Structure 1
C-alpha cells in the first residue's frame, strides 16, 4: 500500500544511533528514511497502535 508522504520528520540523535540505522538500512537494501518507516510500522504493529487514533 502506497502512503502519501506529505510530512517531514527531522530528529537529532547520536552518531552511534545514526550509524546503526545506516547499517540496518544497508542490510535491508533500503534508504535510511525507508528503514525508519519500517521500524516504526513494525513497532506500531507489535504494540497494536493505529495511525487513525487522534493525537
Structure 2
C-alpha cells in the first residue's frame, strides 16, 4: 500500500512512532483499528481477498 502525505504528516508519524517505540506501519495499523473500535466499525478478522 502506498499513499501521498504531506511533509508535516510524515514528520509527525516519524516522531509519534519513535515516541511509542513502534514502526510507522504498526502505529498506523494500531491507530486505524482503534478508530474503528471507537466508531463501532466491525472489521473482519480475515478480510476477503480482493480480486484484481
TM-score range, shorter chain: 0.7 to 0.9
Total equivalences in the alignment: 44
Structure with the greater alpha carbon radius of gyration: 2
Gaps of 5+ in 1: 1-8
- Could you state the TM-score of these two structures normalised by the residue count of structure 2? 0.77
**Aligned-residue RMSD, C-alpha:** 0.8
Gaps of 5+ in 2: 45-52
- Could you state the TM-score of these two structures normalised by the residue count of structure 1? 0.74
Larger RCO of the pair (alpha carbons < 8 Å, separation 6+) = 1
Instruction: Kindly report structure 1 stretches of 4+ aligned residues shifted beyond 4 Å.
Output: none
